[in-house]
């Protein structure tokens, strides 16, 4: 998945930073990530080559998708629909979701 991401421009809702922080803190708390590694990832997070997009303009579409996916996932789906770009994910449930026109590329975690 990394070569796919690195070879293209990446876009994400602003909430990506909060989701990364949440995941890092959970993994650190459970001992899956050493504290120093988590801290380094947090420090480097702002420099990731991702164009962060405000989600507010997509709130109506996010709401429309509420019956098939979470609001968090819907923010990514709505953005992908608007930009007409593929949504890259490791989330099989999201990849199988319906009720939207986003093209979703699944990259299973190995």
Per-residue pLDDT of the chain (110 residues; tens, 9 = 90+): 566 556 678 999 999 999 999 999 999 999 999 999 999 999 999 999 999 999 999 999 999 999 999 999 999 999 999 999 999 999 999 999 999 999 999 998 76
| Domain count across the chain | 1
Q: Which domain holds residue 31?
A: 2-106
Q: What are phi and psi of 9, to 5 degrees?
A: -75, 140
**Cβ proximity of 103 and 80 under 8 Å:** yes
Identify the CATH number of the domain in which residue 53 sits.
Answer: 3.40.50.1010
> pTM of the entire structure?
0.87
Residue 100 contacts residue 81 (beta carbons within 8 Å): yes
């Amino acid at each position: 998945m990394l070569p796919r991401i690195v070879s293209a421009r990446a876009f994400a809702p602003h909430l990506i930073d909060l989701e990364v922080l949440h995941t890092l803190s959970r993994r650190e708390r459970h001992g899956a990530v050493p504290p120093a590694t988590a801290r380094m990832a947090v420090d480097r997070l702002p420099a990731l080559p991702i164009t962060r997009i405000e989600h507010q303009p997509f709130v109506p579409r996010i709401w429309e998708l509420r019956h098939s996916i979470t609001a968090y996932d819907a923010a990514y789906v709505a953005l992908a629909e608007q930009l007409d770009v593929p949504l890259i994910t490791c989330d099989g449930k999201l990849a199988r979701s319906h009720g939207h026109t986003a093209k979703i590329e699944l990259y299973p975690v190995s």
